[in-house]
Amino acid sequence: MKLIDIYNTAVTFGMKMDPRGKEKVKNELLRARKEFDKLSKTEKECYDQERLAHPYSDTRIVCGKKDTEVKAALVGIDIEVGEVVLADRLREKGEKIDLLLSHHPEGLALAGFYNVMYMQVDILNKMGVPINVAESLMFERIKEVERRVLPANHSRSVDAARLLDFPFMTCHTPADNCVASYLQKMMDNKRPDTLGDIIDILSGIPEYKESAKQGSPPKIIMGTSSSKAGKVFVDMTGGTEGSKNIFSKLSQAGVSTLLCMHLSEEHFKKAKEEHMNVIIAGHIASDNLGLNIMIDHLEKKGKLKIVPCSGFRRFPRKK
């Protein structure tokens, strides 16, 4: 497969798996178009115009020619300078590496990744939070994350890849959409009665089983195994954690249990105040699940050798 085909397949599948639904994704693209049209000529020259094609600013080809033929990819949850040097070392030892594929964003994809957080407004609304409330709380949180990202050295790993002549691509929210939709559908269909039932469901999934073997199992951090699950919200996409003030609104909307990748201490305290059940499925394990579902889809389009690294483990689904 060519690099551009891998990229286009990933973002197209990501849109298909987006928990907001097709119409909301279209609306997001219209929002970006309106934003772009209002810019001056000078501002348009600096605008990331990929945002007009798909809504995932954390997913980009950050280095390399789009027509590069890819037969083997080094795939990691993170691809930083160390992994780039690792790829070069593997190449020296005879391992063919045509592409560096990172889940977490780097370069341009890191600089603008906070833009994907707008999708959380529609996800929260879908869970029953009034749209005006979701929008107000998320706008404040997005600006906070933007300020945090601004001073970062976004291009370190991209520069290393360029110097060592490796094409480099990131795939963040499309893969997160895969895990969020996969688990939400599973929870909706199986309707677990207790938090213990949710843990049992997760424990049967290869990525979580492997993570448990490595000392990091899915864990109930609020509630007990016998606590009633009620309405379960799988909160695993949209860039990063949303507003810490959203939990009261989710509780009022009838959500009893949050199933998350991770939760900051500040967010934990706010959720505790609302007596919400919280299960941490695991960050890296959940990233693995989303990325594996994405790679399963990519492999339907053509042969692709996967060389796992940086916390990634390949678990193909049955075809």
pLDDT tens digit string along 16-58? 999 999 999 999 999 899 999 999 999 999 999 999 999 999 9
Whether residue 208 contacts residue 287, with contact meaning beta carbons closer than 8 Å, is answered with no
Angle between helices 283-299 and 173-190 (to 10 degrees): 100
Mean pLDDT of 101-129: 95
Give residue-wise pLDDT tens across range 175-227.
999 999 999 999 999 999 999 999 999 999 999 999 999 999 999 999 999 99
Residue 97 carries which DSSP code? -
Predicted confidence (pLDDT) at residue 112 exceeds the cutoff of 80: yes
Q: Average pLDDT of 125-145?
A: 95
Domain architecture of the chain: domains with CATH = 3-172+286-309 (no CATH), 179-283 (3.40.1390)
Rounded CA-CA distance 312/283 in Å is 12
Look at residue 319 and tell me whether its pLDDT is greater than 70: no
Confirm if 102 and 169 have CB atoms less than 8 A apart.
Answer: yes
**What pLDDT, in 10s, does the model give residues 145-172?**
999 999 999 999 999 999 999 999 999 9
Q: Are 152 and 110 in contact (CB under 8 A)?
A: yes
Q: Is the pLDDT of residue 127 over 90?
A: yes
> How much is the pLDDT for 318?
72
CA angle 209, 262, 293 (to 5 degrees): 50
Q: What does pLDDT average to over the chain?
A: 96
Share of the chain above pLDDT 70, in %: 100
Average pLDDT over residues 58-73: 97
Interatomic CA distance for residues 126 and 294, integer angstroms: 24
What is d(CA 140, CA 242) in angstroms, rounded to the nearest whole number? 10
Tens digits of residue pLDDT in 248-306 = 999 999 999 999 999 999 999 999 999 999 999 999 999 999 999 999 999 999 899 99
What pLDDT is attached to residue 258? Answer: 97
Whether 125 contacts 67, CB under 8 Å: no
Amino acid 87: pLDDT: 98
Phi, psi of 100, deg, nearest 5: -100, 120
